[in-house]
Each structure stands twice: as structure tokens, then as C-alpha cells.
Amino acid sequence: MSSSANACFRAHRPVLSFVWTPHRHASTSSAPKVMHFYQNKQLELYASKSAHRLTLRQLVFFGRSMNAERIIKSANYVRTELPVRIAHRLRDLQALPFVVVTQEEVAKVYELYWSAFEKLRRFPPIATLDENDRFCEFVSSLLDEHATVIPALSLGLSLSSPHLPPEKLDAFMRRMLVSRISRRVLAQHHIALSASLRNGENSRSSGHVGIIHTHLDVRESIEKCVELLTAAPPRVFSPEADGEELAGKLNCPRVIVDGHAGTKFAYIQEHFEYIMFELLKNAMQHRTASTTPLVRATIAAGKDDIQVRISDEGGGLTHSTVKAPSDLFSFSHVRNTTRMENERIGALRTVSASPRGMRATVDEQVTEWKSTDPGKTADMIAHQRIGIGLPMSYIFATYFGGSLELVSLDGWGTDVYLRLPKLGTRLEEIEV
């Protein structure tokens, strides 16, 4: 364990020992005991509250006409809601086996959340626009500090995979990641609404309410991802050629976009494009040595849902290491052996150690790929190998009640079906 992680466990050991091993870690001085008892009481207090879940429609309606009174209301909602959501996940972390929570990367995440919880719960109520500006700066700094959480958790839990049954590991990761997405949505939405109010922007002309794109063009987003993937094709390994890398030996697949091509709906662009990028990347990687297949993205706008089917001709999942297609969404090595592969663990270490963490948006990836900075390119290549694109896409898809399914047409190709509710009336699927 690194010295900083050790320091974290020294600082919070009584908090942890309150839950696990009070006899072994009992403090000799009474002052720290009282202090940590108090801190744990605070955590209990917040964890006993339920999260106040929202729908996408509520986020849009509340944000549509902003004024000073409404933005201050929004600020105080975020200020009181974030520590409740974090407290639930701190309790989850405390409930992990000791061998898992003391794993260096998991300890790093625990420490980040504990510190954010303490800072947020102590942040004074916001009454003026200036106070809101300071609150936005503070929340932005938290968002930056937490940039490495996903690779750190993924690495920590991959290395701890032998100590947790797969269903426990996947349920834990799902709670952690959905909750993280939800907190970042609340924080980023409030920051964006505050900026629009400050700059006098009108949501009708900008097409955005906070971080929600009110007329997201499905085809445009897909084409942006295809452009990026064609400019920087993903690495391809052929199962038929014993894993030999085929990049450079094959033409890039042609991607056809068809169906209801004019479809627009209100959604978080960043989430939609993350999913599309990952699904198209996989489809373009599924290739056999003998063919230059086609990838087809079909858009369907139903009454309640938007659906996108991505079909490839890469031979299906017959060569895959998993038993069932849904195992590809798993973080456990029992369900998906690639979780423990050295190359993936190495790439995760690189991304987890980089203060920039993971780039969140396809737009950022486009900018970075076009830049000539070799450091950024190295980060990007590491990102391609960390192997969390599919489970993360599943989590993004289901956050507001959508679904993601994979079907293998053995010997022919793979179909992936994404369904997202288009009315925005589904509550966030976070566990509270």
C-alpha cells in the first residue's frame, strides 16, 4: 500500500474498525475515539436518508427558465443531496471484506469519497449568487479530483475479484457507478445552469438546458463517433489468427446508418455518445481475417423509446471467452476472464495514475485525437485497452431506465440493441 493510502487508513481506521474489527484497532486515547464516533454518527445520519431521485424531464423543466431564486434552490438541493448519495456508497465500501477495502486503489476511492462527504456536509447554505459561484468552483474541483475513480475502482475490484462472489462484485460495482453517474449529472447540470444564467443564455436558442441536449440528433452523434473511429481505428485481433493483431492488414469496416435517420430526442449527449462510441468500436473490432465486413447502425423512433441496433458481420461471439453475452457486462473474472489479463491491468494502472483519469466525452476525444500531443495519444491508447466500455455503456443505458442487450448470431455477427426511454419520465435507477 502507498504511503498516502496508509495515511488514509490511519486517519480513518477507527471509522472502519467501528464496522469491522473494533477489538484489533481500538484506540488508546479517548479523544480520537469520540471524534471518530462523531464522524460515524454523521455518516449514519446521512446514510439513513433516502436519495431524492429525479427524472430527466424534471431536470429539463426546472432548468428551462432560470433566475436567481431558482438557481439558489438548485444549489442547495445539490449541496444537501450529494452527501446523502455519497454516504450510501461509503457504507457499501465499509461493508466490503477487509482484504478488498484495504486494496490500494479501493482505499484511494474510499478516501476521496470520505473527504468529499465531509467537505460537502460542512458547506454552508447558499443564499446569494456570489455564494453560488463559490459553490460551483468547489464542486468543479471535486469533479476534477474524482476523475480517476472509475479506473481506480475497476482496477481495485479486478485485483480483488478472487475475494468476492461474482454477483456481489457486479452488484457493488453497479451501485457505485450508477450513483457516481447520478452525482456527476447533478453537479454538472447545476454548474451548466449557473453558467447559462451568468451569461444570459436562452435555452430555446442554445438547444441545451444545463447538460441536457433538448434536440439530440441521433444520426449526427453516430456519425461523429464513426468519424473518430475511422480516423483512429481500434486495434483488431483475429480469433481465427490466434489473436494476431490485424490492424493495418484490413480495410476499416464501412458503417451504414439507416432507419429513422431524422430522430431527435432530449438526452444527455455525453452519455449517448459514450454508449454509441463503445458499441461502434466493438462492432468495428469484431472482424475475421477473411472479410471486410459492414457495420449497420439502425435507428428506430418508437412511441416511448428510441432504439439503436448495431449489427456487425464479425462472426458472432463463438470465439468469445464468456459463456453468455451478458457476461461481457461483468466486472468479475469468474464471468469474464479478460478482467485479469495483464495488458488490461497495466492499461488500467496507467489511466488510474494519470490525474486526467478518463476522458468523458466523445467531443474531448475528437479534440485530443486531433492534437499532436504524444502524451495524450498514449493516454488514449491506454484507454482503448481498459476494457470497461461495455459494462459502462450498460450502466449509462440503464441509468434512466433504458436497456442494452447483445445477441450473437453465431458464425455470422453480433447485434447490440440499445433502448432509451424518450419521454424522460423514468426516475434515476440508483439504489438508495
In the complex, which residues of this chain contact ligand COI (CB under 6 A)? 82, 116, 139, 142-143, 146, 149, 180, 183-184, 187
Residue placing its CB nearer to ligand COI in the complex, 81 or 313: 81
With respect to ligand COI, which residue has the nearer C-beta, 119 or 376?
119
Supply the minimum distance, in Å, between the C-beta of residue 43 and ligand COI: 15
- Residue among 190 and 219 whose Cβ is closer to ligand COI: 190
Query: Which is it for strands 237-238 and 294-301: parallel, antiparallel or unpaired?
Result: unpaired
- Cβ pair 332, 388 in contact under 8 A: no
Minimum distance between the CB of residue 331 and ligand COI, rounded to whole angstroms? 17
Q: Measuring CA to CA, how many Å separate 24 from each of 14, 19, 32, 176, 257?
A: 10, 12, 16, 28, 61
Phi, psi of 256 (to 5 degrees): -105, 135
Distances, alpha carbon 237 to alpha carbons 178, 182, 282, 330, 337, in Å:
31, 35, 12, 21, 17
**Contact, 279 vs 310, CB < 8 A?**
yes
Q: Which CB, 96 or 310, lies closer to ligand COI?
A: 96
Q: How far is the CB of 330 from ligand COI (least distance, A)?
A: 21
Q: How near is the Cβ of 183 to ligand COI at its closest, in Å?
A: 4
Q: Tell me whether residue 383 or residue 422 sits nearer to ligand COI (CB atom).
A: 383
Provide, rounded to whole angstroms, the least separation between the CB of residue 161 and ligand COI.
21
Angle at the Cα of 234 from the Cα atoms of 229 and 235, rounded to 5 degrees = 165
What is the C-alpha separation between 257 and 260, in angstroms, rounded?
A: 9
- The dihedrals phi and psi of 95, each to the nearest 5 degrees, come to -85, -5
CB atoms within 10 A of CB 262: 10
Q: Which of 60, 118, 105, 98 lies closest to 350 in space, CA to CA?
A: 105
Residue 235 C-beta: closest distance to ligand COI, Å: 29
Spell 294-326 as b/e; 16+ CB within 10 A means b: ebbbbbebeeebbbbbbbbbbbbbeebebeebe
The span from the CA of 383 to the CA of 422, in Å, is 30
In total, the chain counts a number of residues equal to 432
Which residue sits closest to ligand COI, CB atoms considered? 146
* Nearer CB in complex with ligand COI: 72/187: 187
- CB closer to ligand COI out of 186 and 225: 186
The nearer residue to ligand COI, 255 or 358, going by C-beta atoms, is 358
Q: Quote the least distance from Cβ 86 to ligand COI, whole Å.
A: 6
Give the nearest distance from C-beta 13 to ligand COI in angstroms.
23
